[in-house]
Amino acid sequence: MEYEKVVDFAGDARKALEAARAALVQVGFQVSPIEESAFRATYSGWFDTRRNPLLAASTMVVAVRDGRLALGAELGGLGKLRKFLILLIGGMALLFLVGFGAFMLPQVLQGKEHPAMLALPLAPFAPWPVLGPVIVRVSRARAVKALDTLLDNVRTIGQEA
């Protein structure tokens, strides 16, 4: 798991698990029991930066055992976001290069334009090798914070009298 956190827990395990289950179902996860004191939540939809950061997790396991509350998650939504950015930006760059390059190539071959003009269509994509990883890193930080908050809230609800 890409995210794992275990906290001490001295409360009602059923109440804590039900709070986690309710929170995850509300944002679109499918929940399936593993055993009485644990469940798995899966999300197969799309994750983007404007949606609930919990959706960055493709699979979560919530368990209460031996006085501990554990939350583990695979952040598969971030992988999908990364692949989407690479394909979108790379595809657009290729389209611009071929489209504008086909227009500019005859002029470059005739000596009317400098050969560097062939690279000009790629200029709008220059920041993306930096922006893409930054977007994924920020999204990961938001997801980890959301998972930490979920775990803290579930622990608090489970320990309420």
Walk along the chain (161 residues) and give the pLDDT tens digit of each residue.
699 999 999 999 999 999 999 999 999 999 999 999 999 999 988 887 788 999 999 999 999 999 999 999 999 999 999 999 999 999 999 999 898 888 888 888 888 888 888 888 899 999 999 999 999 999 999 999 999 999 999 999 999 85
- The confidence score (pLDDT) of residue 16 equals 95
- The confidence score (pLDDT) of residue 1 equals 65
pTM of the model: 0.86
Q: Which helix or strand (DSSP H or E) is residue 17 part of?
A: helix 13-27
The C-alpha atoms of residue 102 and residue 114 are separated, in whole angstroms, by 15
Residue 79 three-state SS:
helix
Buried b (16+ CB within 10 A) or exposed e, 78-113: bebbbeebeeebeeebeebbeebbeebeeeeeeeee
Residues facing 68 on adjacent strands: 8, 65
